[in-house]
Amino acid sequence: MANPRTPREAWIAEGLRALAAGGPDAVRVEVLAQSLGVTKGGFYGYFRNRDGLLAEMLDTWEHAVAGDVIDGIERDGGDARAKLTRLHAIASAPGDPLTDISTELAVRDWARRDDAVAERLRRIDNRRMAYMRTLYREFCPDEAEVEMRCFITLSLRIGRHFIAADEGPRSREEVSALTRAWLLS
């Protein structure tokens, strides 16, 4: 009986795990094959080269963090506050390598050195911001405040992982929860 072929999605998922752990330089065909327990020959049945894999990894990540998240929130319905509550929950949930913050931070770091990745990241962030604007506008009539809330929401997602300050009287999670509650008020 022939061995089943390693699915394309497995190569992409393993590439995203490697990216999150070590940046784009860690995405090496040989290392991915070893992690998957296969030979690298199967890789070339799906991808022309490493750059092809990197492009598909970015496509997959973009679809997950923008398209899938927005589609899922919209599909579940509710008012703007309910949708934003779900958005905050997704943004702070660990585990899924596609939406996990470690992958996001690795893509952002990569974008600092690669103009094409930077342009893609700008497109993704613009899509996220546009979506949040539509939600915040439903209960916040002041356009300047809508922009501030969107900026704080995205900053909370990304920036809180870089803050090294000691905790004050409240834990970081408590402060994050208070910030999310204020954003939805």
Domains of the chain (ranges; CATH) run 58-183 (1.10.357)
Give 20's Cβ-side CA count (13 Å radius).
18
Q: What are phi and psi of 78, to 5 degrees?
A: 100, 175
**Scanning the structure block, which residue is given the tokens 């599909």?**
75
Instruction: For residue 75, name the pLDDT band (cuts at 50, 70, 90).
Output: very high
Mean pLDDT of 63-88: 94
The pTM (predicted TM-score) of the whole model is: 0.88
Q: Which two tokens stand for residue 25?
A: 């330089």
Would you say residue 49 has pLDDT above 60? yes
Amino acid identity, position 183: L
Q: Which two tokens stand for residue 84?
A: 């934003």
> Strand runs (DSSP E) across the chain, as ranges?
none
User: How far, in Å, CA of 87 to CA of 71, rounded?
Assistant: 11
Give the model confidence (pLDDT) of 122-136 as tens digits: 999 999 999 999 999
Residue 80: partners with Cβ closer than 8 Å, 6 or more residues away: 134, 135, 136, 137, 138, 139
> Which residue, 126, 121, 122, 131, is CA-closest to 86?
131
Q: Which two tokens stand for residue 53?
A: 């894999």
Residue 176: partners with Cβ closer than 8 Å, 6 or more residues away: 92, 156, 160
Instruction: For residue 117, name the pLDDT band (cuts at 50, 70, 90).
Output: very high
